[in-house]
């Protein structure tokens, strides 16, 4: 595919934006460190950056009312306290703090928040959910984007963004940036093909299918010397610009980058609000952090599912609904109501958060063949662990996944609540105490569809970013 020079590409993009919107402000990024352990955490400023491209967001949609995320960023007028910008998000530190390791040592993670350049000094506040599940300020710092120590110039872009789907000027659209990692220079065409294939699949799944025109999609990759990314558990160490790798928190299938600085320094050269990283590997794996990024192994037989499932975490803050797979996180001591839209502790069935989808007469909790599912799932997990421990070919793992899905489909097929929305026990990595909206969903197993509750959760985030104000 013919690529536009970066300067021409950017100029064309902003020319279109100017026709529909007033001049967009610059993009400000605050890079900071987030450190601590399972009991406490601290923040410290690293730098304030003016990114090369203007703010991609809608000027009338600066305030987030979705109540998503473990954290929240607020930008307020330093003098009056007026709220200028807000967004919910979660962090890698937040996930790590629930692991066994966090009970033994402290660690530091890089994080960033981005917002449109204000015309005055502001106070940037990072909020965390407290024991009441309400947001409270954990850290704040005054930021003057015109100060001398603000980074106002950037090195040349290390790669050119490729337009995959352009539906209109960025301020009125959701801008998705697909980054590649583990692709050599000779594999750049493969990366573009992977980005097109997987983004096309995303827009075949509701509600993304119906809202496809609300998205712009860009692709960009910095070539690596070797094909594929690092997988420490197998002795594979492939340096890459993004530093994406398998085995995060000791989970062989968990893929993330812990190098936030590298990620942001590359991503800033394309319009983006959301990022999915495609890794050039065949081994099953992926990950997703709400408001940060998601990852997927592009060469795996289940890449379509991985791309959409992990994007569901990153884009809409959807919870994992499965609970029989091993994870790195430790079980919580209590049963706090999850902030995620598709999981509940069901303390009061009359106030179920997705009650509008529940038909009259549907029992809450909703019965399903839970014991039979768990029995077959335990056997499946043993076989999965044995295949990975023996280093068997990925084709055998893929076949096991297909067999497991077919068995689950057969088990649930004739149950009277098969297609109902209710409250099915087993979700959020817990067999009891948490409930999901449907028996099956893309967030529960390798199904092909999101349940109605997850679709609502996704649509609310699309509305936050795309279309006219007040939509």
Report yes or no on 418 lying in a domain.
Answer: yes
Give me the pLDDT at residue 336, please: 87
Report yes or no on 2 lying in a domain.
Answer: no
Judgement on whether residues 440 and 313 belong to the same structural domain of the protein: no
Judgement on whether residues 172 and 299 belong to the same structural domain of the protein: yes
Report yes or no on 98 lying in a domain.
Answer: yes
Report yes or no on 343 lying in a domain.
Answer: no
Judgement on whether residues 146 and 224 belong to the same structural domain of the protein: no
Judgement on whether residues 258 and 293 belong to the same structural domain of the protein: yes
Q: Which residue has the tokens 């007026």?
A: 82
- Taking only Cα atoms into account, the Rg of the chain, rounded to an integer number of angstroms, comes to 22
With the C-alpha atoms ordered 339, 211, 87, 271, is the resulting torsion angle positive or negative? positive
Give me the pLDDT at residue 223, please: 98
- Below-70 pLDDT ranges, the chain: 1-22, 326-334, 467-471
Query: CATH number for the domain including 238?
Result: 3.40.390.10
The runs of H, that is alpha helices, within 203-345 are 260-267, 303-316
Note whether 202 and 164 are within 8 A (CB): no
Report yes or no on 4 lying in a domain.
Answer: no
Judgement on whether residues 216 and 304 belong to the same structural domain of the protein: yes
Judgement on whether residues 260 and 175 belong to the same structural domain of the protein: yes
Give me the pLDDT at residue 333, please: 55
Of the residues 130, 153, 176, the one at which a domain ends: 153
69: tokens are: 């995320």
Give me the pLDDT at residue 239, please: 96
Note whether 280 and 220 are within 8 A (CB): no
Judgement on whether residues 219 and 196 belong to the same structural domain of the protein: yes
Report yes or no on 341 lying in a domain.
Answer: no
Judgement on whether residues 167 and 297 belong to the same structural domain of the protein: yes
Distance in angstroms (rounded) separating the CA atoms of residues 79 and 94: 31
Query: CATH number for the domain including 33?
Result: 2.60.40.3250
For the whole model, what pTM was predicted? 0.93
Beta strands in 226-376, from DSSP E residues, in sequence order: 274-279, 286-289, 293-297
Judgement on whether residues 178 and 300 belong to the same structural domain of the protein: yes
Report yes or no on 18 lying in a domain.
Answer: no
* CA 140 distance to own-chain centroid: 24
The DSSP annotation for 160-198 comes to: --EEEE--S-GGGSEEEEEEEES--GGGHHHHHHHHHHH
Judgement on whether residues 265 and 121 belong to the same structural domain of the protein: no
Secondary structure of residue 315 in the 3-state scheme: helix
Note whether 451 and 342 are within 8 A (CB): yes
Parent domain of 148: 24-153
What is the Cβ-side half-sphere exposure of residue 462, based on CA atoms within 13 angstroms? 19
Q: How many domains in the chain? A: 3
Report yes or no on 5 lying in a domain.
Answer: no
Cis bond upstream, residue 42 (ω within 30) = no
Judgement on whether residues 119 and 181 belong to the same structural domain of the protein: no
Judgement on whether residues 225 and 243 belong to the same structural domain of the protein: yes
């Amino acid at each position: 595919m013919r690529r536009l020079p970066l300067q021409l590409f950017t100029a064309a993009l902003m020319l279109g934006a100017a026709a529909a919107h007033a001049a967009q402000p610059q993009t400000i990024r605050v890079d900071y460190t987030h450190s601590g352990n399972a009991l406490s955490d601290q923040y410290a400023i690293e730098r304030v950056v003016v990114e090369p491209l203007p703010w991609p967001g809608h000027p009338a949609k600066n305030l987030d009312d979705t109540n998503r995320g473990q954290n929240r960023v607020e930008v307020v007028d330093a003098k009056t306290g007026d709220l200028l910008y807000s967004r919910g998000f979660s962090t890698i530190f937040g996930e790590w703090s629930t692991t066994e390791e966090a009970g033994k040592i402290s660690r530091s993670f890089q994080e960033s928040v981005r917002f449109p350049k204000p015309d005055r000094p502001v106070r940037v506040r990072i909020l965390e959910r407290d024991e009441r599940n309400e947001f409270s300020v954990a850290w704040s710092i005054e930021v003057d984007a015109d100060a001398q120590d603000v980074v106002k110039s950037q090195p040349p872009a290390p790669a050119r963004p490729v337009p995959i789907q352009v539906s209109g000027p960025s301020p009125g659209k959701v801008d998705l940036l697909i980054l590649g990692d583990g692709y050599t220079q000779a594999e750049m065409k493969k990366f573009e093909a992977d980005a097109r294939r997987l983004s096309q699949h995303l827009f075949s799944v509701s509600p993304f299918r119906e809202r496809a025109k609300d998205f712009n999609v860009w692709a960009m990759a910095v070539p690596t010397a070797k094909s594929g990314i690092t997988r420490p558990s197998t002795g594979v160490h492939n340096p890459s610009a993004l530093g994406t790798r398998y085995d995060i928190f000791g989970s062989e299938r968990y893929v993330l980058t812990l190098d936030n600085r590298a990620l942001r320094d590359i991503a800033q050269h394309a319009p983006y609000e959301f990022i999915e990283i495609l890794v050039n590997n065949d081994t099953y794996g992926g990950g997703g952090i709400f408001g940060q990024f998601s990852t997927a192994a592009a060469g795996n037989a289940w890449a379509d599912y991985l791309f959409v499932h992990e994007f569901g975490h990153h884009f809409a803050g959807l919870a994992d609904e499965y609970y029989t797979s091993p994870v790195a996180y430790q079980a919580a001591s209590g049963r706090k109501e999850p902030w995620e839209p598709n999981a509940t502790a069901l303390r009061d069935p009359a106030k179920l958060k997705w009650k509008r989808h529940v038909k009259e007469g549907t029992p809450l909790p909703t019965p399903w063949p839970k014991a039979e599912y768990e029995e077959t799932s335990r056997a499946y997990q043993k076989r999965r662990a044995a295949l990975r421990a023996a280093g068997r070919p990925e084709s055998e793992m893929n076949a096991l996944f297909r067999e497991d899905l077919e068995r689950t489909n057969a088990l649930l097929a004739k149950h009277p609540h098969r297609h109902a929305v209710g409250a099915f026990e087993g979700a959020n990595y817990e067999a009891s105490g948490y409930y999901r909206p449907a028996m099956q969903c893309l967030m529960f197993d390798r199904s092909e569809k999101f349940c109605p509750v997850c679709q609502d959760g996704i649509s609310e985030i699309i509305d936050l970013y795309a279309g006219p104000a007040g939509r």
